[in-house]
Amino acid sequence: MEYFLELFLGGTTRGSIYALIALGYTMVYGIIQLINFAHGEIYMIGAFVALIVAGVCTIYGLSGVSILILAGVIAVIYASAYGYTLEKIAYRPLRGAPRLSPLISAIGMSIFLQNYVLLAQTSDFLPFPRLIPEFAFMEPVAHIIGSPELVILVTTFITMILLTLLIKKTKVGKAMRATQQDMSMARLVGVNVDRIISLTFVIGSALAAIGGVLVASYIGQVNFYIGFLAGVKAFTAAVLGGIGSIPGAVLGGLVLGWAESFAAGYISSDYEDVFTFGLLVLILILRPSGILGKARKQKV
**AA letter at 251:** L
Q: How far is residue 46's CA from residue 44's CA, in Å, rounded to a whole number?
A: 5
- Using CB under 8 A, which residues numbered 250 to 279 contact other proteins? 270-271, 273-274, 276-278
| Residue (of 209, 194, 207, 210) closest to 166 by Cα position | 207
- Using CB under 8 A, which residues numbered 27 to 66 contact other proteins? 33-35, 45, 48-49, 51-53, 55-56, 58-59
- Using CB under 8 A, which residues numbered 102 to 141 contact other proteins? 102-105, 107-117, 119-122, 126-127, 129
- At closest approach, how far in Å is the CB of 99 from other proteins? 6
| Residue (of 3, 7, 2, 19) closest to 230 by Cα position | 19
93 near other proteins, judged by CB under 8 A: yes
Q: How far is residue 203's CA from residue 80's CA, in Å, rounded to a whole number?
A: 7
CB nearer to other proteins: pick between 220 and 265 = 220
| Residue (of 42, 149, 131) closest to 87 by Cα position | 42
DSSP letters, 155-190, are: HHHHHHHHHHHHHHHSHHHHHHHHHHH-HHHHHHTT
- Using CB under 8 A, which residues numbered 174 to 233 contact other proteins? 228, 232
CB nearer to other proteins: pick between 113 and 132 = 113
| Residue (of 147, 158, 287, 170) closest to 217 by Cα position | 147
Q: With contact defined as beta carbons under 8 Å apart, do 49 and 74 qualify?
A: yes
- At closest approach, how far in Å is the CB of 105 from other proteins? 4
Q: Which residues bind other proteins (CB under 8 A)?
A: 33-35, 45, 48-49, 51-53, 55-56, 58-59, 74, 78, 81-82, 85, 89-90, 93-94, 97-105, 107-117, 119-122, 126-127, 129, 228, 232, 235-236, 239, 270-271, 273-274, 276-278, 280-281, 284-285, 288, 298, 300
